[in-house]
Amino acid sequence: MSVLTVALKAPGETILPTVAVASCLIDANPKAGLTIVYEESEKVGSKGGKVELKTDDGALLYDAEIIPHLRDKYEVLQAGNKEQVDEWLKRALEFTRPDFKAMDKPMKELESHLTLRSYIVGYGLTLADLVVWATLRGNRVTSGAVKRFTNSTGRWFNFIETMYPWIGQGAAEMAAGDMKKKAAASAAGASYNIGLPDTDKGVVTRFPPEPSGYLHIGHAKAALLNDYFAHEAYKGTLICRFDDTNPSNESQEFVDAITYDLSLLGIFPDRISFSSDYFQEMYEDCIKIIKSGNAYADDTEKEQMQHERFEGIASKRRDESIEDNLARFAEMKTGSEEGQRWCIRAKISVDDTNKAMRDPVIYRCNLTPHHRTGDTWKIYPTYDFCVPILDSLEGVTHALRTNEYNDRNPQYAWFQKTLGIRSVHIWDFSRLNFIKTLLSKRKLTKIVDQGMVWGWDDPRMPTIRGIRRRGMTIPSLREYILKQGPSRNIINMDWTTFWSNNRKYIDPTSPRHTGIDQEDMVPGTVSGATDADLKPQEKPKHPKNPELGTKTVYYSKDILFEQEDAKSFKQDEEITLMNWGNAIVRKITTDAASGKVTGLDLELHLAGDFKKTEKKVTWLVRDQKLVPAGNLRVRLLDPLGQIEKTRLEHSSPEDRDQHTSG
């Protein structure tokens, strides 16, 4: 996987072109394995560049070296005549000047070039468009002005941003400033004064995801809280440790996905490690705990073991000799048929009121090749055994985790005490639960595997990828989660508040466009309009943000309405036609058989007061160039949480589209 690191404090015109090219590559070829991360600094890397690319083979490239490298490697970036593209890549440097007057000549040349063109080179998007657009967008002198241009340059600039929305994503993130501070906890209003002990001795936290799926909204809370206490509250260290102790469910794909999703959240661990880095150490600790008489080998059948643990019944193998237990553990290590019958259990208690303390399994066989260690190991530690050992070994000072592990806290402390290793402070916080939402990784995996959704990034999925695709902004996501704070109170959240919080981020920068449902749309005839009333007008794309530019609104005596709106009208009712004015509904024609409205006659009344009308409706001109529904399909997706349990257990890929409407 390649990583592009961007210095957020560097001038926008010097870094945004590379970000735009990288975003194009990620959008066109997700399998390229390129990740963009941001650092709150003026320079990055050992050479102090503004942008650094670490390639798959570990090579480091900086600034002007990066775009040529990406073009040479990926065909998707090679569109257009190379000589012409190269010419405009050089000319783009002229748009980095901080003085608008100094750019007068190159701006006029660009304007002349774009007069009869939609793209700078050829008939499609090329590096020339990406780099010139991003340079103009990144330069503070031109970023606001060029959007308001009504000439060919302004048309081209807005066309590129509209047709390729991903190009503006990097600009939006950089404009927001430090990814770490987009949603500071102080602004979120939560109390983080939880009295963590021994913080004066340094703070090291960890986020230990299992690489068996994509991060979901619940994981985001754990990741962000550990990041907050490590980096913002105490200026400490954050470790991301992949808990890869179950090779049956894990893969490098999920490692890469989780790393990328963390960067989207603005989380950049100081160190990344894997539980598999310590398989030898944990194996030796298991031998140690067996030799001390605190663990034993057991071949009790799974169902019988569950019954005995629940009832507080001792296993028939509990008092076997240390020698026999060591011999069976050695047999397990070989992965033999005999060894696979056994597991290792900690000898803690038979009938403790806390069932997590009733001799939990700490090692088991698994012959599936590991995605990092291959066939080296045939035995793997359980999460309960692994975490207390590695937390101590890696220097973690405070283990912050959800209170679903509360019953395991005594077990966690028992392992550290029994092995004679450094103890770690634990703080439990509540899970982030949403009503009617599946957050079980096992069930989400089943949904993906059965083809009930399009993938882990389906907008119905509660994964970070899914909610991002649905439209959630990272600043809003960070703010919302940090606002919940590290409280232990269990609350079921509503998605309504989640998305309403997002609205305040996207509303100020979202251009307004008009569309209507093509099915059963209703033709309307407008009378009383003068020639002046029918003249096209330039209207702002956003009523409160002139920087978004304008759009042309066309008027006509023949317009179209949605069936739902038309059905709501009453005879002689005054309504407001958005972006035009008031009109009076004089006649409603209805099909007797279906009850659907088939025509409307309206009388224009521009002197009317829009504040007094009950209905304010959208409409389109019949004879303007409309985008047909065949080219633009809008699908309304039902919430994933409404999938019934029976359908989850028995559904097939053919059911996928049954969870959609529209």
Catalytically active residues, by annotation? 210, 431, 441
Q: For tokens 């031109």, what's the residue?
A: 142
Q: Give burial (CB, 10 Å; 0-12/13-18/19+) of 562.
A: buried
DSSP 285-336: HHHHHHHTTSEEEE---HHHHHHHHHHT---TTTT--HHHHHHHHHHHHHT-
DSSP strand pairing (295-298 vs 581-590): unpaired
Angstrom distances, CA of residue 589 to CA of 86, 577, 601, 625: 60, 19, 8, 26
Q: Which residues contact 659 (CB under 8 A, 6 or more apart)?
A: 452, 453, 460, 637, 638, 640, 642, 643
End-to-end CA separation in angstroms for the chain: 38
Residue 242 · residue 273 · CB < 8 Å = yes
Q: Which residue has the tokens 């990034």?
A: 457
Q: The tokens 């943000």 sit on which residue?
A: 545
Q: How far is CA 50 from CA 15, 44, 59, 253, 405, in A?
A: 7, 6, 16, 29, 43
CA distance 642 to 662: 17
Q: Rounded to whole angstroms, how far apart are CA atoms 318 and 325?
A: 10
Please give the Cα distance from 173 to 478 (Å, whole number). Answer: 13
CB 178 within 8 A of CB 185: no
Q: What is the dihedral of CA 406, 408, 409, 410, to 10 degrees?
A: 130
Q: Is residue 551 a contact partner of residue 541, using CB atoms and an 8 Å limit?
A: yes
The phi, psi pair for 7, rounded to 5°, reads -85, 110
d(CA 493, CA 593): 45
Give the three-class secondary structure for 38: strand
DSSP state, residue 85: H
- Contact between 491 and 433 under an 8 Å Cβ cutoff? The reply is yes
DSSP state of 98: S
User: What residues contact residue 530 under an 8 Å CB cut-off, 6+ apart?
Assistant: none
Q: What angle do CA 482, 483, 489 make, to 5 degrees?
A: 100
Give the integer Cα–Cα distance in Å for 20 and 168.
8
Q: Which amino acid is at 420?
A: G
Rounded distance between C-alpha atoms, residue 637 and residue 658, angstroms:
10
Fill in the DSSP letter of residue 639: P
Q: Which helix (H) or strand (E) holds 361?
A: strand 361-365
